[in-house]
Amino acid sequence: MTKERILVTGGTGYIGSHTVVELQNAGYPVVIIDNLSNSNRDVIDGIERITGIRPDFVEGDCTDLPVLAKLFTDYPDIKGIINFAASKAVGESMHKPILYYRNNLNTLLNLLDLMGPNGVKGIVFSSSCTVYGEPDENPVTEKAPIKKATSPYGNTKQISEEIITDVINAGAPFKSVILRYFNPVGAHPSAEIGELPNGVPQNLIPYLTQTAIGIRKELSVFGNDYNTPDGSCIRDYINVVDLAKAHVIAVERMLENKSDKKIEIFNLGTGNGVSVLELIRVFEEATGVKVPHKIVDRRAGDIEKVWADPKFANEVLGWTADSSLADTMRSAWAWQCKLRERGIM
Ligand code: UD1
């Protein structure tokens, strides 16, 4: 059976590109729209090398309504959307709140506006565990209270969830699956695609692999005086390919009407909390490469500990995050080595 076309906004980005691969592997025709603000065209070659299929690509900005409207005219067969097009750096959002609200909210509003008239059946939205703030209890279920956002980035995720809910409750003729990611890490096992941050990485894994390869002198571990067994912060690190696969299940669920609910929310995590110091150890053991590191002060705004209860996604979607953390660390390292080989990093 031919599958229906999926629009992947932000499809050349980190999670977007891995999801395009899994969609194509599952037989979905894809069109990507991306403004290449935090990615580049080579990613499409990587996707083609992995899957043997070159996804259609439109260079454009989703905050531009006429550009998006034209896309729907050019591709009248789009039946589902996965929205990854968003700015995602927590620190940057503190300095450039307007950019974050404009990019993240206008993109979503434009998509929601165009879905009904163009017969799109559903939208998968990339949300984040950031909506739980510092949770009262771990692991965190989807029923945990939403805490006041500590950054404009986090606030855009909360507001976006509310916008989707309001639009659908007002009778919009489509469904939505909201996915709250914990900490996505690693790269495709082929090392053809992976995370490629601009400038100095803000997130742990790219900083760690850049340190391991010698681009950075040492990794700063932000704090060892937290109320955790070794004093460093705890997160739930989920393999990006496992994460991508959940999107394919979510799309199928909406397009094939497998649920009678119009909005569903799932946590996507492994269920395991891992500290920064443990993660460094797992990386070193898995790759045999040392990561020079030192303990520094806490980073403002960091959550002490958060990890997922993924039971709802496990049971309802039939999805689990299967990859071992050691394999995931090896994939991140293979990707860093590939970037070096290509002379990019
Ligand atoms: C943050 C956001 C999350 C967002 C993600 C992607 C919050 C609470 N979380 O995750 O919503 O999706 O960024 O941008 O806002 N660390 C170091 N040294 C480093 C870098 C990080 O020790 O050089 C530590 C941090 O203190 C943290 C852990 O590593 O404990 C993970 O940090 P990071 O990769 O930046 O992700 P989060 O802050 O968890």
Say if residue 93's pLDDT is above 80.
yes
Mutate to test the pocket of ligand 1, among 14, 90, 221, 243 (most ligand atoms within 8 A of CB): 90
Q: Flag whether 289 is in a domain.
A: yes
Is 210 found in the same domain as 135?
no
Ligand 1 site, residue 302, Cβ cutoff 6 A:
yes
Say if residue 345's pLDDT is above 80.
no
Is 159 found in the same domain as 216?
no
Q: Flag whether 141 is in a domain.
A: yes
pTM here is 0.97
Q: Flag whether 199 is in a domain.
A: no
Please tell me the distance from the alpha carbon of residue 172 to that of residue 345, in angstroms, as a whole number.
Answer: 46
What is the CA(194)–ligand 1 centre distance, in A?
18
Q: In this predicted structure, what is the pLDDT of residue 172?
A: 98
Atom of ligand 1 at shortest range from CA of 181: 12
Q: Flag whether 196 is in a domain.
A: no
Give the tokens for residue 281: 């150890």
What is the CA(93)–ligand 1 centre distance, in A?
14
Q: Flag whether 191 is in a domain.
A: no
Q: In this predicted structure, what is the pLDDT of residue 343?
A: 87
pLDDT digits (tens, 9 = 90+) for 260-306: 999 999 999 999 999 999 999 999 999 999 999 999 999 988 999 99
Is 66 found in the same domain as 10?
yes
Is 124 found in the same domain as 224?
no
Is 246 found in the same domain as 223?
no
Is 169 found in the same domain as 43?
yes
Quick one: DSSP state of residue 140? B
DSSP E strands in 223-277: the ranges are 234-235, 237-239, 263-268, 274-275
Q: Flag whether 14 is in a domain.
A: yes
Domain range for 181: 5-185+239-268
Please tell me the distance from the alpha carbon of residue 55 to that of residue 31, in angstroms, as a whole number.
Answer: 6
Ligand 1 site, residue 38, Cβ cutoff 6 A:
no
Please tell me the distance from the alpha carbon of residue 251 to that of residue 222, in angstroms, as a whole number.
Answer: 37
Exactly one of 28, 100, 132, 153 is catalytic; name it. Answer: 153
Catalytic, 153? Answer yes
pLDDT digits (tens, 9 = 90+) for 97-123: 999 999 999 999 999 999 999 999 999
Ligand 1 site, residue 321, Cβ cutoff 6 A:
no
